[in-house]
């Protein structure tokens, strides 16, 4: 027997049941987290760029359609995520606002809220507009009424006031008139609500007794046609005094985006 035969024999390792080395999971988690962060950053970057492009196009279109100067500031607000709306082809809601917008012979602060605005053509769901006029802007509007003393107009909630001189025995007697604004068939109508003569409130009958038919110069309704300043698809729906301003509300036909006739300037019949 050789010396090698007398050496103790070591058992072979059990490869079948040996525990495999554990792989570290954290590098994969870090990589996945980095991918998520990059995707979020890319999304927000694309969202910001898309919003800037769309709002810029809207501003340009508004200035072009209304013949406004390039310097006219216009605020554009589109709520919600921009990219899904662009993919869907419709802006759910679009708000445009600008102060001192000059239209014809008057100016006002304008806010337009539109719904379901198509991006690739078609009619929008509809829109509403609000025009706010202070005293100076209101004077500019009523100066279009023949024989109306626009320079005497003031806003005294809930009415508009003005004064006229009514002739009596060759002397002009000042009469103060409080006018209630209303929307009638798309026009602004100012209706006498109360009268003041020599500092005292008087009724229509008393004014007629004193001035005769001349009193009708004061007691008449005054109509302001606004259609001549607006697209045919925009209709006056309401008007009222709110504090120190006059606020007029309008409905906008959703087909104005596709029908050239609705975008053409309206007229006074």
Give pLDDT tens digits for 21-47: 555 555 555 555 555 555 555 656 777
Whether 182 shows a pLDDT value over 80: the answer reads yes
User: Hey, which of 13-27, 156-170, 223-237 has the most confident mean pLDDT?
Assistant: 223-237
> Would you state the structure tokens that stand for residue 46, as one six-digit string?
């694309």
pLDDT of residue 77: 93
239 pLDDT band (50/70/90 cuts)? very high
Alpha-carbon distances, residue 49 vs 54, 57, 64, 82, 224 (angstroms)? 9, 12, 23, 10, 44
- Alpha carbon distance 251, 94 (integer Å): 15
- Alpha carbon dihedral 84, 86, 89, 94, in 10-degree steps, equals 100
150 against 64, higher pLDDT: 150
Those residues whose C-beta lies under 8 Å from the C-beta of residue 163, and which sit 6 or more positions away, are: 149, 152, 174, 175, 176, 177
Q: Mean pLDDT over residues 106-134, rounded?
A: 91
Could you identify the residue written with the tokens 């800037």?
A: 52
DSSP 8-class letter at 104: T
pTM comes to: 0.78
Contact by Cβ (8 Å): 195, 159? no
What are the percentages of helix, strand and coil residues in the chain, rounded to 5? 35, 40, 30
Q: For residues 187-216, give the mean pLDDT.
A: 79
Neighbours of 118 (CB within 10 A): 15
CA distances from residue 186 to 4, 94, 145, 174, 225 in whole angstroms, order as listed: 118, 25, 16, 31, 8
Tell me what the pLDDT averaged over the chain comes to. 82
Q: How many CA atoms lie within 13 A of 105 on its CB side?
A: 14
The residues, any chain, with a CB within 8 Å of residue 21's CB and separated by 6 or more, are none
Beta-bridge partners for 93: 115
Tell me what pLDDT residue 92 has. 93
Read off the tokens for 187: 């026009």
As separate numbers, helices (DSSP H) first and strands (DSSP E) second, the chain gives: 6, 12
DSSP state of 248: E
pLDDT at residue 102 in the model: 84
Res 167: pLDDT: 66
In the predicted model, is pLDDT for residue 255 greater than 80?
Answer: yes
- At 15, the pLDDT band (50, 70, 90 cuts) reads very low
Q: Are strands 234-242 and 106-118 parallel, antiparallel or unpaired?
A: unpaired
* Cα–Cα dist 134/261, whole Å: 31
pLDDT of residue 159: 94
In terms of Cβ atoms closer than 10 Å to its own Cβ (0-12, 13-18, 19+), residue 233 is: buried
Q: Strand 222-225 to strand 200-202: parallel, antiparallel, or no bridges (unpaired)?
A: unpaired
């Amino acid at each position: 027997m050789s010396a090698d035969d007398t050496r103790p024999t070591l058992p072979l390792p059990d490869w079948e049941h040996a525990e495999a080395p554990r792989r570290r999971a954290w590098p994969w988690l870090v990589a996945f987290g980095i991918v998520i962060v990059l995707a979020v950053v890319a999304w927000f970057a694309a969202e910001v760029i898309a919003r800037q492009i769309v709002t810029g196009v809207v501003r340009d279109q508004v200035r072009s359609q209304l013949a406004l100067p390039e310097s006219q500031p216009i605020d554009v607000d589109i709520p919600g995520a921009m990219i899904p709306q662009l993919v869907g082809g419709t802006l759910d809601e679009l708000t445009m606002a600008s102060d001192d917008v000059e239209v014809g012979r008057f100016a006002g602060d304008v806010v337009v809220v539109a719904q379901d605005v198509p991006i690739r053509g078609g009619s929008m769901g509809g829109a509403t507009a609000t025009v706010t006029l202070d005293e100076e802007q209101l004077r500019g509007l009523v100066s279009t009424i023949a024989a109306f003393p626009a320079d005497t107009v003031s806003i005294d909630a809930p009415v508009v006031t003005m004064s006229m001189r009514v002739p009596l025995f060759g002397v002009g007697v000042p009469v103060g008139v409080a006018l209630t604004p209303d929307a009638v068939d798309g026009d602004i109508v100012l209706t006498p609500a109360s009268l003041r003569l020599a500092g005292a409130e008087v009724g229509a009958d008393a004014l007629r007794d004193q001035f005769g038919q001349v009193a009708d110069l004061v007691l008449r309704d005054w109509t302001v046609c606004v259609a001549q300043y607006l697209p045919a698809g925009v209709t006056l729906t309401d008007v009222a005094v709110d504090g120190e301003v006059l606020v007029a509300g309008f409905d906008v036909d959703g087909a104005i985006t596709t029908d050239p006739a609705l975008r053409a300037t309206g007229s006074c019949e």
